[in-house]
Amino acid sequence: MFHMKYIFYLIFVHWIVAIPQINLYFTNQVSESENYDEIGIRYNCIRLASNLDQDDLTRQISSYCMSESSLKFHIENDNSFQTFSFADLAKMNITSEDLYFWSTPIDITEEYQFYLQSNDSSLAKKIFYNCTLPRFGSMCQYEFCYYHENYSSLYEMIFSYYVDYLYDPTNLTCYTHLKCNRGYSPACLDWTEICDGKVDCLDGEYDEEHCWELEFNECKPNEYQCDNGLCVPNEFVEDDPMNFDCIDGSDEQLQTDYVSSEVYTIEPTFGYEDLMCKQISLTSSCLISRRLILMYSLFSIKDNNVSNECWSAYKCYFAIRTAEHPYITFNVINQECIPIIKDECPDMLYVPNIPVFFGHIYTAYKKNELSHPLRIEPPYLCSNKSFYDDSLSLVLETVLNNTMCFKVSRFTSWQTAGTPDFVQRFERSMNDIFRQIRQIHSITNFPLHRCNQSHLYQCRNSSKCILFRRLINGVTDCPYNDDENISEDTNPQLFAQVKHKYYKCHVTNKSIPQMALFNNDCDCESDEYDFCEDLDDYGNFTRRTISFQTICDGFQELYPIMIDGKNQTDETECEQWECDNMYTQCDKIWNCLDGKDEMNCDYSLPPLINCSSDYRMCVTLDTYKLTCLPINKTNDGIPDCLGRTDERASCRTPYGNSDAVFYCQGEDNPVCLYSKDLCDGYVDCLDDDDEQFCQKNRSFEMDSSICEDEYISFGSDAEKFLCDITKEYKKEEIKYFTIDGFNQSSENEVNENQQIDVIHTDLLDDPRCHRGLDLRVWLNKSSNPNFTSTCLCPPTYYGNQCQYQNQRLSLSVRFYDSVQSIQTLFAILIMLIDNTNQRMIHSYEQFTYLPKRDCKVKFNIYLVYSTRPKDMNKNYSVHIDIYEKISLKYRASYSYPVEFLFLPVHRLAFIINIPSEDDYSCSNKKCLHGKCLNYFNTKETLCQCEQGWSGQYCDIPHNNCNCSSNSICIGRASDNQSICICREYYFGSKCYLRNRICDNSPCRNNGLCIPHDDFMITKSQEYLCICPKGFSGSRCELINTQIDLIFDKNIYLSHSIFIHFIKIVPFDQTAAIIPETSPERSTTLQTISQATNS
């Protein structure tokens, strides 16, 4: 009886308290004999959505998995947790849903459901451990030390962990699947240092050996070529500055010295984990901590013939603290360190004592040249290999240890004020030299015999050649910078081939590289109005783009265009155009020069004097009194009011967006003032207009204008009027389409992106797991201590401390479907397979896709290889199957080859168009136990195997699939586990569990309820309603407005018409804030009934 009460108590607590669910996936033990460093099988994982603040753009599900066998931990039954057999649970009417909500591992939960359905006696004695958070796992053996009782979800806990966790490692993660000697401890190869354009291995060019192949990679016409040679869809370029589709960041114009502080305090996601910063010499990692560790480690190796005093002094010279010099100032460098160098060191010395550049170039210093502490002397470059080029302006000086040494002449000496800084004195100087050497350095193993091909460019006075795509790309690749200086005058034939990479300046007719646009330099040169078109993105857009909303609004935006011998702009021939409209009314800007667009506006202040609609307020020129001026005297070219407030065009210039200024009378050149210049005690107008009307002998002193908020209440009526009408208001640069009286309803709105409340917890002082999660493992009570630790690693890492970098594919995929299937729910299965006869499935991911919900979303997915390292003798491909989720009807398959196997991290980005048909059968007699199908995106075929068969031709039998009857079995993965696609409402590895969120029919009017999957687990609503025609709303509770179009019978109509729907984006016109998004348009093709003509 006690057991029954205890279980019911747990059920009751679950329903009244929101607590995290920590359900482990893939807990079935892998063979004990397996070496966990050599397999990539997922084991003991938690799965959750990531980066949910960006879920309207990208979605990523993250798996954090254990990399070492749990068999190494001696875990015994903990009597503090109750246990129940499956038979006991069934007698108490406990459901599998109960176990799921109690954070039971998915495998155990599904086994229990199978037991309930089959009454399999072999499972009756299977033991369930009744864990209490923070303990979880099959035997309650695991615990997150940073768990807090106030967390409401697993995502909230993990999100808070990474917010609190400043990733500032003291040791390095390493890529170990390539032979490479980095030369000094703790330096090791980083995945970003492979194919980064420089040799990092001291024992050979292994890290750059095959990278030349990327140079000859060709992209499709609808693709953008990343700087590293890989391809992404054009649609993905500059679409999301937080998520890069090119690993080098070139699709989002990543700055070359980019290092984001956010990388240390966010979850491991695509946008930060799979990113290279390859413009620095020591590493291409974007982590500052890695760069610093490598820099300090460079000085850890000393020549045995050099004294400790000498080496310590050189460290001091570069501002490295040592026991001998714990505190370094410029005086210390000048009075202590440089004298020791001159007394103790040899005349010339490698500093550091290992190659710094390209695996063979040392930097060396002569002690007699070290003099001034503020100035770093340029080093000598020494090597036993040829790297000399006239473009470097090197001077042959001497020989050191059998290496030829050249003096660097072009050198930036970074001086620091205050305290000497190691980064300033060493890294920046080295990076400056690195950029010069890189210009002359040819790509490793580049086939020079191909330099005469038509798509390659031969650098001037050099043996180096580069592909045309590297011309005019903002990066100097040729020794003499000729790849970035291609002129129409000097080389018209070549210029014609790269003309598309130039931007033609509208005003100056100058051609500048596209890469120079908006680079903070005015390359086009300014026009007469001091406007630079390549600096101002919005300004350039408005000057070149006709906008219906801003035509004839009193402000010239467009450049003049010669039409019929006349210069035409958006402000010519406006006599018949209504300036008083929904885009101009009541924004405190006089778009109509008589001000009628600002009449009858509620500005919450009573008028100073009452003027009728045919009059405007005015301060007279002679008496400085406030009066009413007839409207026919405004904008007539004759000033009647002080400051020409009746002649608003007086101070307007083309392309300006400011209104309301005070015009000084009697000036040869127009002088226009704003309210802050009026009545401030300083004469700005030649005739003293800005001070003459002001009150004299005030009872208080002012230190600024009467128009300031603190003084305006004491002003006269004339002062108050002029202060108000001369305030600077900015006209919106871009105005979007709207409709009169439009207001967005706040009803039925659901805040999808809820702010996560971060709960701060005390973390370990020295986090062990790098970018993974620290997990406590409780052992038997006789152990001392009775717990140990392991790590759950994201797909990017593995190892008992997540210290090794994983070989992986990172996929960025967007799906599109026809309008007819906009409400069809699809199951997407993405697999990494090898192209052997076995067609082994190395890893896979699956999720649901609903076009209505997800058509603009990119799905980010990691796939890993089942062996470490991957087999370089095999070919791999990404295979994608698409099924209709509700009916499990097959729709299509796609195949994408994995090329360039030498890349440790391979980014694949593509767009998939889901076909409306499903008949892609073919005839192939080789498919023995399956059906021949055509891939939708290639001319290749595949064999879709019957259950129980696998292999390229469905000729390899395997054990019966153990998917539930609510699914279809696709095959078996490399861990011998079945891959199941669940019918809608079912989930779990084998589809035995049911999601009952829709059981109570929350959708009204016969709407179809669809549970959200793992990619959207923190949505405020756990389901989505697919509404029938005529209804909408989050629960289909709203009746849609119906539009009936009836055409006259005399109008000849086609059989169908396009209907465009425009979603209005609301914005505050008075705030002068440019909206972030423009109106959204959707188009549908509607058939017209010939019988009814409607």
Under 8 Å CB-to-CB from 653, ≥6 apart: which residues? 529
Among residues 207, 193, 172, 167, which one has the least CA distance to residue 277? 193
Among residues 494, 51, 474, which one has the least CA distance to residue 244? 51
Q: What is the 3-state secondary structure (H, E, C) of 194-233?
A: CCCCCCCCCCCCHHHCCCHHHHCCCCCCCEEECCCCCEEE
Residues 119 and 87 sit within 8 Å (Cβ to Cβ): no
In 253-286, which positions are buried (b, 16+ CB within 10 angstroms) versus exposed (e)?
Answer: ebeeebbeeebbebbbbbbbbbbbbbbbbbbbbb
Q: What's the CA gap between 258 and 252, in Å, rounded?
A: 12
Q: What's the CA gap between 969 and 990, in Å, rounded?
A: 9
Token digits for 520? 């903070």
Token digits for 573? 């021939």
Q: What's the CA gap between 318 and 353, in Å, rounded?
A: 14
Residues 272 and 285 sit within 8 Å (Cβ to Cβ): no
Q: What is the pLDDT of residue 2?
A: 43
Q: What is the pLDDT of residue 35?
A: 58
Under 8 Å CB-to-CB from 834, ≥6 apart: which residues? 840, 842, 871, 874, 875, 876
This prediction has a pTM of 0.82
Residues 196 and 189 sit within 8 Å (Cβ to Cβ): no
Q: What's the CA gap between 588 and 174, in Å, rounded?
A: 61
pLDDT along the chain (1094 residues), means of 10: 48 54 84 60 87 79 87 78 94 96 95 94 93 92 88 87 83 94 91 94 94 92 91 90 87 60 67 83 89 90 93 94 90 94 95 92 93 86 79 75 86 71 86 85 88 90 88 85 86 87 83 78 82 75 83 90 90 91 89 89 81 93 94 93 92 83 82 93 92 91 93 94 90 77 42 50 66 90 78 94 95 90 92 94 94 90 94 96 94 95 96 86 85 92 90 87 92 90 94 92 92 68 87 91 80 81 61 53 74 59
Among residues 244, 252, 237, which one has the least CA distance to residue 192? 244
Q: What is the pLDDT of residue 753?
A: 44
Q: What is the pLDDT of residue 14?
A: 46
In 840-878, which positions are buried (b, 16+ CB within 10 angstroms) versus exposed (e)?
Answer: bbbbbbbbbbbbebbeebbbbbbbbbbbbebeeeeebbb
Largest CA distance in the chain: 108
Q: What's the CA gap between 57 and 77, in Å, rounded?
A: 46
H/E element holding 49? strand 45-50
* 633-665 tens-digit pLDDT: 999 999 999 999 999 888 888 888 888 789 998
Q: What is the pLDDT of residue 783?
A: 65
Token digits for 329? 């100032």
Under 8 Å CB-to-CB from 519, ≥6 apart: which residues? 534
Residues 310 and 286 sit within 8 Å (Cβ to Cβ): no
